[in-house]
């Protein structure tokens, strides 16, 4: 069971009779709209996974869909970039340096600049389509678990201004997925080309890390 609780940030008042939709990353399933009840809660009989929450047609959250997801709005009409559940913004600007080897990765109709290993030169060029394009180039079929880790890495970086360590990832995903799936071995099975701190960070649009792989 997944529930979404929608309320007004200023008054804590529940937002009633408001349509909520879930979009799942793994299979692309979009649920039929569910109206929030008198407590501002919309309930979905679905298994946990990675995806997004739309409230009245606007994306308000992306990440792990499990348990109760609280969404607080200043206004039901506020732009979605002001309340997506994402903690802050990632830095922008080119990370290129003299002599850096770069190439173009085709992402839809756009060619995005990456370094020789596929790391984004400008983190603001990241998109879900970028992650899909790079994963396809690396022979990786993205599942819901991949998306959960990608979103976790981006959220962690936005909060702490530093990449999550493998230890951070294991502590989080053992709690979420269980001891074996969330172990170092389990995470490396998901990201076989360098593990979650290399391949995971590449797909999440983050910079290279030092000292761990």
Sign of CA pseudo-dihedral 107, 51, 184, 88:
positive
Distances (CA, A) of 172 to 93, 148, 152: 30, 11, 9
Judge whether 200 and 191 are in contact, CB under 8 Å. yes
> How far is C-alpha 153 from the geometric centre of its chain's CA atoms?
8
pTM score, two decimals?
Answer: 0.67
Q: What confidence score (pLDDT) does residue 105 get?
A: 94
pLDDT in tens, the chain (213 residues): 999 999 987 678 898 999 999 999 888 889 999 999 999 999 999 999 999 999 988 888 988 999 999 998 866 655 554 443 333 456 666 777 777 788 999 998 999 999 988 999 888 889 889 999 999 999 999 988 898 899 889 888 888 778 899 999 999 999 888 999 999 999 999 999 999 999 999 999 998 775 443
pLDDT at 31: 95
Which uninterrupted H or E stretch holds 99? none
Structural domains in the chain plus CATH codes: 2-82 (2.60.40.1120), 102-203 (no CATH)
Closest CA to 46 of 70, 30, 62: 30
Report the pLDDT value the prediction gives residue 79, as an integer from 0 to 100.
55
The pLDDT assigned to 76 comes to 60
CA 80, 62, 209, 101 torsion: positive or negative?
negative
Contact present, 148 and 190 (Cβ < 8 Å): no
pLDDT value of residue 85: 37
Strand arrangement, sheet containing 34-35: 34-35, 19-24, 49-55, 58-65
Contact, 130 vs 105, CB < 8 A?
A: yes
CA-based nearest residue to 125, from 134, 138, 116, 137: 134
């Amino acid at each position: 069971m997944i529930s979404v609780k929608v309320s007004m940030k200023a008054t804590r008042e529940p937002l009633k009779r408001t349509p909520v939709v879930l979009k799942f990353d793994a299979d692309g399933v979009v649920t039929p709209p569910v109206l929030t009840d008198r407590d501002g809660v919309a309930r979905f009989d679905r298994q946990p996974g990675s995806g997004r929450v739309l409230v009245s047609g606007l994306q308000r959250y992306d990440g792990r869909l499990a348990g109760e997801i609280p969404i607080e709005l200043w206004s039901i009409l506020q732009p979605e970039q002001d309340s997506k559940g994402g903690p802050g913004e990632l830095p922008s600007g080119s990370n290129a340096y003299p002599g850096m080897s770069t190439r173009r990765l085709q992402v839809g109709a756009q060619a995005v600049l990456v370094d020789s290993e596929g790391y984004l030169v400008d983190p603001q060029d990241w998109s879900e389509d970028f992650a899909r394009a790079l994963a396809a180039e690396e022979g990786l079929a993205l599942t819901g678990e991949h998306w959960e880790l990608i979103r976790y890495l981006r959220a962690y970086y936005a909060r702490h201004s530093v990449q999550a360590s493998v230890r951070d990832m294991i502590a989080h995903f053992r709690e979420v997925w269980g001891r074996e799936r969330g172990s170092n071995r389990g995470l490396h099975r998901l990201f076989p080309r360098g593990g979650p701190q290399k391949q995971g960070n590449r797909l999440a649009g983050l910079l290279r890390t030092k000292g761990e792989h």
